[in-house]
Amino acid sequence: MLETKEIHFYYGAFHALKNISMTMDDHTVTAFIGPSGCGKSTFLRLFNRMNDLIPDTHLTGQCLIEGQDIYQKTVDVTTLRKKVGMVFQKPNPFPKSIFENVAYGLRVDGIKDKNFIRQRVEESLKGAALWEEVKDQLKKPAFELSGGQQQRLCIARALAIEPSVILMDEPASALDPISTSKIEDLIHSLKEKYTIVIVTHNMQQAARVSNKTGFFMLGELIEFNDTKKIFLSPEKEATQNYITGRFG
């Protein structure tokens, strides 16, 4: 379970997230929508502390995963990131073979057992619905895959280290509609095992894949509710204006 309590986040003096408290249940898909610069990506990145990489940022409030505050000093960031996988906007496979891409997280973790690695790679590729397409060419450079395949490879890469949460930052915005729908189907099947949080520009995508949707605007969480509720009868006028395209 992911939970935030009164989160405030600053880039230098810029107040990027304002007092955000919410709870996301296990094995659900939660989507964040909102106009560009509304803070939804920033919020997503809180959960695996990717914002740590940006200098001059500052956070107050609590961010809990399974009850533990991940911003405590005792928390090891690398361990956290193994538990909270992430998929990025543009597919970013490493310049290695397909196999090595998926095995990367394991190798970084110090695992040497070849059989174990091979098995885990296969499982992860199957989990990402890519196995059938690549099983005969695991040695091929990952760059030779299509964009959609690359993105599923990145998902497989994240699955290989057995996270409990998967964060997705606009995972399909760089892909064509066919690849997009494959990724969306994949998200549906991953929901069984993982807690998924997804940021998307595409409202329909949020509607299609998520159980719950949060609408962000200007760093505030305007509305957070069941996706059906948000898209059929949102409570806030701002939400309504945004999802109907009347925004601004």
Partner 1 sequence: MKHTEKELLALKEEVSQMWKLVLSQLEKAKQAFLNDDFELAREVVSREKRVNSFELKIDSDCENYIALYNPVAIDLRLALSLFKICSTLERIADFAEGIARHVIEENCEPFSAEMKTQLRIETMFDTAIEMFSDSYEALDSENTKLAGKILSKDEIVDEIYIHSIKILAEAIRKQMITAECGLHILLVMRKIERIGDHCSNIVEEIVFYIDAKVLKHHKNKVDI
Partner 2 sequence: MAIMQKKTEQKIAFTFFRSLSLVVVAILFWILGFIIYNGAGVIDWEFLTTAPSDGMTGGGIFPAIAGTLYLILGSSMVAFPLGILSAVYTSEYAGNGYIIRFIRIMTNNLSGIPSIIFGLFGMALFVNTLEFGDSIIAGSFTLGLLTLPLVIRTTEEALRAIPDTFRIGSLALGATQLQTIRRITMPMAFPNIITGLILSIGRVSGETAPILFTVAAYFLPKLPQSIFDQVMALPYHLYVIATSGTDLEATRPIAYGTALVLIIIVLLMNLLASFLRKKFRKL
Q: Which residues bind partner 1 (CB under 8 A)?
A: 181, 184-185, 188, 204, 207-209, 227-228, 231-232
List the interface residues with partner 2, window 198-237 (CB under 8 A).
none
Per CB under 8 A, does 107 bind partner 2? yes
Which lies closer to partner 2 via its Cβ, residue 143 or residue 247?
143
List the interface residues with partner 2, window 15-74 (CB under 8 A).
48, 50, 53, 55
Which of 94, 111, 131, 146 is close enough to bind partner 2 by CB under 8 A? 94
Beginning with the edge strand found earlier in the chain, give each strand of the sheet holding 220-226 in spatial order: 84-87, 165-169, 195-199, 29-33, 212-217, 220-226
Which lies closer to partner 1 via its Cβ, residue 169 or residue 184?
184
Q: Which does 108 bind (CB under 5 to 8 A by kind): partner 2, partner 1, none?
A: partner 2
Judge whether 131 and 119 are in contact, CB under 8 Å.
no
Contact code string over 132-161 relative to partner 2, x by CB under 8 A: ----------------------x--xx--x
Helices 98-108 and 114-127: angle between axes, nearest 10 degrees: 120
CA distance 177 to 174: 10
For tokens 């990402």, the residue is: 128
CA distance 165 to 86: 8
Residue ranges of the alpha helices (H) in the chain? 40-46, 77-83, 98-108, 114-127, 131-134, 147-160, 177-190, 203-209, 227-232, 237-243
> Which stretches of the chain bind partner 2, using CB under 8 A?
48, 50, 53, 55, 78-82, 85-86, 88, 90, 92-95, 104-105, 107-109, 154, 157-158, 161
